Amino acid sequence: MMVDLFVYDGQNIHLNQKEVLLIKEFSQLWSSEDYGKCKEDKTGKKHIKADRFFKYLWLAHDYKSPYMELTRREREKTAIEDSGLDIKDVEHGLAKAAVNKYSNLQETRTLKLLNTANNTIDKIREFFDSVDLHQMDEKREKYIHSTKDIFNQLKDVGEVSSSLKDLEYTVKKEKEAEVALRGDDTEEGLFD
């Protein structure tokens, strides 16, 4: 069961610092002067870079992120840009440990299944993006991909997409039930 580490108030994402700092990997990243130093915070004590990392973490890895419709690569690239980090920041050892911990904390069996389904859909999309209807099989002197076969496969993808929406709904209901059972309080801290 995952504590909501981030709360969106309609305008900003707030960091629920009370719970976040109880988790070793997040606390280490938050308090690290080495990781926390940046141009705007030479000492790391203002936690500007840590705030940016937590924004990245939510945008790239939270099931509620608006970027969940993107492929994993697109999602991570966009989240890095939007959070004001660079690739070195998310590849830092403390950052990788925090991402792994966050992923493990939020994944239920149903969410793991949804993630697997999304990864599969991404691969299917990449396959269709790469199909060249003019590519020839030289030995048989025929097109490798027939338009008819591609359209039939696309019909099947429509059914998969419908099933994926059902699975997303199930995950959403599962998460809402967790929140209701916990009776989460709504007090949260702001990003500095």
Cβ neighbours for 158, distance < 8 A, ≥ 6 positions apart: none
CA distance 38 to 19: 25
Nearest C-alpha neighbor of 83 from the set 48, 116, 111, 32: 48
- Rounded Cα distance between 64 and 32, Å, is 28
Token representation of residue 152: 């039939």
Instruction: Give Dmax (Cα) for the chain.
Output: 68
Query: Is 79 inside a domain boundary?
Result: yes
Report residues of the chain scoring pLDDT below 70.
1-3, 11-12, 178-192
pLDDT tens digits, residue range 13-25? 777 777 788 899 9
Residue 55 lies inside a defined structural domain of this protein: yes
137 bridge partner residues: 142
Please check whether residue 113 lies inside any domain of the structure: yes
The pLDDT of residue 3: 57
Q: Does 188 map to a domain? A: no
Within-domain flag for 72:
yes
Q: Domain count for the chain, please give it.
A: 1
Cα 144 from chain centre: 35
pLDDT of residue 2: 55
Residue 187 lies in a domain: no
Q: Which two tokens stand for residue 7?
A: 């709360």
Its pTM stands at 0.63
Rounded to an integer, what distance in angstroms lies between the CA atom of residue 182 and that of residue 174? 13
What letter would DSSP give residue 136?
A: E
Bridge partners (DSSP) of residue 142 are 137
Residue 94 host element (H or E): helix 93-106
The confidence score (pLDDT) of residue 82 equals 94
Does residue 83 lie within any of the structural domains? Answer: yes
Query: Residue 131: which domain range?
Result: 6-182
Look at residue 1 and tell me if it is in a domain: no
